[in-house]
Amino acid sequence: MKLRLLAGLSALVAAAGLSACSSSGSGDGVSEDGGRTTIDVWLMRDSVSAAFQKDFEKGFEAAHPDIDARVQIQEWDGIGEKVTAALASNDAPDVIETGNTQVAQFAQSGGLLDLSDKKDELGGKNWLKGLAEPGAYEGKQYGIPYYAANRVVIYRTDLFKKAGIDASSIKTREQWIAATKKLDKGAQQGIYLPGQNWYTLSGFIWDEGGDLATESGGTWKGSLDTPEALRAMAFYEKLQALGKGPEDSDEAQPPQAEVMAKGQVAQIVSVPGGANVIAQNNADLKDKLGFFPIPGKTAGTPGAVFTGGSDLVIPVASQHHDAAYTFVKELTGDAWQKKLAVAMSYVPNKTTLASAVDKDPGASTMAVGAAVGHATPNTPGWAAVEAKNPVKDYMTAVLTGGDPAREADKASDAITSAMKSGS
């Protein structure tokens, strides 16, 4: 699943489309200059920069002169329908980048190649949980983790210093609340947290040991009505009250980074790229922004986060499974993962590679949370839930005075119905 502002993680790299990794071949998979296997690859907008593409092109061609990989950049808007149509055709691309939480939906159709027997070879034991788990469906691995991004706390270093708060000492939720209370004075907001930031709520739910939905005997059911989820919502309500975030909209309406840029917000929960947007809108804040991981319930474990990012899949309809796998293996292998993480400020696909972004404050902070990251419920029906998003409605209802238990029951039923209709 693509996170809002993910493009900002690459320091707002110009989103230039990738050219082919080498000269184009004919449509039958073998180039006209003799013997090279041509594969078509779909990567998503902002997945790579032009500089990384050039570097990868040179390395891939040197290592695999027999493969001509033709890369096409796709837009996120409408990509679900486009991939679904491609998988059902006889002319599917050979490799597709897809949002991590979309894999189950595509796998259900039978259009994806089962890559379970490649997990060990690809270092699967070290994959980020938030990428690997949604890349699997009914016990089989279809999606290979590509890169990740998640939310952190972006804070004003000057306001924290003025209040006598050391951000590095904030390790627990209660410490976070105490610090935010000190910052929430007069016109200054301790935190700007919109009422419908349901990804952040999800992290609190996972911290409590709950989930958005659970499966039993093959049936999925909404679970916002559990004690764990209700405790998470109570904490969200407590934190959200320490600022002036609207109860009835999310982080995009209005864009929360632009709100922080106005100078009266001490913190937001965002991907690190939000700091670039803040600085663009208020140059005076460029050197006054820092990052820390979302705190957990206890000091020893950071807060759970929703892991956004992508997996790579190979369609069954591809005529070049071996060459497609070679491409996937290279791009998700340790060498190129380290380079991708540095170039794009992403989190690498394995926990063992986190040190690659040690020199990047935002990305290294993300990596802390990514180690305990989660994804949305791994069922094809979840797409229908996000389309209607009863979680947002539930949050607004509670924040505007509704009874939490009653509203949670209604939202859980709505989630259950949506998953059933979308499966």
CA distance 47 to 56: 13
50 or 149, greater pLDDT = 149
3-state secondary structure (DSSP) of residue 419: helix
Helix (H, G, I), strand (E, B) or coil at 69: strand
pLDDT in tens, 71-95: 999 998 899 999 999 999 988 999 9
Give residue 34's pLDDT. Answer: 60
Q: How many CB atoms lie within 10 A of CB 375?
A: 25
pLDDT tens for each residue of 220-246: 999 999 999 999 999 999 999 999 999
Give the Cα separation of 423 and 415 in Å (integer).
12
Query: Tens digit of pLDDT for each residue in 307-335?
Result: 999 999 999 999 999 999 999 999 999 99
Look-up of token digits 């389309």: 387
Bridge partners (DSSP) of residue 70 are 40
How far apart CA 293 and CA 347 sit, in angstroms, is 14
Can you tell me whether residue 363 is helix, strand or coil?
helix
What proportion of the chain, given as a percentage, has pLDDT over 70? 92
* For residues 183-209, average pLDDT: 97
Q: Distance (Å, rounded) from C-alpha 245 to C-alpha 189?
A: 9
pLDDT of the residue at 27: 39
pLDDT tens, position by position, 397-423: 999 999 999 999 999 999 999 999 877
CB burial of residue 85 (10 Å; 0-12, 13-18, 19+): exposed
Which residue stretches of 112-242 are H helix? 129-132, 157-162, 173-183, 198-207, 227-240
- For 389-402, the pLDDT digits (tens) are 999 999 999 999 99
The neighbour count for residue 230, using CB atoms within 10 Å, is: 18
Residues 6+ away with beta carbon under 8 Å from 298: 172
User: Which pLDDT belongs to residue 17?
Assistant: 30
Q: Is 352 left (phi over 0), alpha (psi -120 to 50) or beta?
A: alpha
Query: What CA–CA distance (Å, rounded) separates 271 from 273?
Result: 5
Whole-number pLDDT of residue 3: 53
Phi and psi of 402, rounded to 5°? -70, 155
118-121 contacts, C-beta under 8 A, 24 or more apart: 118/144, 118/325, 118/329, 121/329
Of 395, 396, 394, 387, nearest to 411 by C-alpha is 394
Helices 227-240 and 173-183: angle between axes, nearest 10 degrees: 20
Report the pLDDT value the prediction gives residue 206, as an integer from 0 to 100: 98
**How do residues 281-310 score in pLDDT, each as one tens digit?**
999 999 999 999 999 999 999 999 999 999
One-letter amino acid at 108 equals: Q
Apex 367 CA angle, 278 and 160, nearest 5: 45
Please give the structure tokens belonging to residue 248.
Answer: 């009835």
Q: Are 12 and 257 in contact (CB under 8 A)?
A: no
pLDDT tops 70 at residue 103? yes
d(CA 169, CA 420): 44
Which pLDDT does position 90 carry in this prediction?
86
Mean pLDDT score of the chain, rounded to an integer? 91
- β-strand 373-374 against 305-306: which pairing, if any? parallel
Rounded to two decimals, the pTM is: 0.87
HSE at residue 312, side-chain half, CA atoms within 13 A, is: 23
Q: Given a cut of 80, is residue 8 above it in pLDDT? A: no
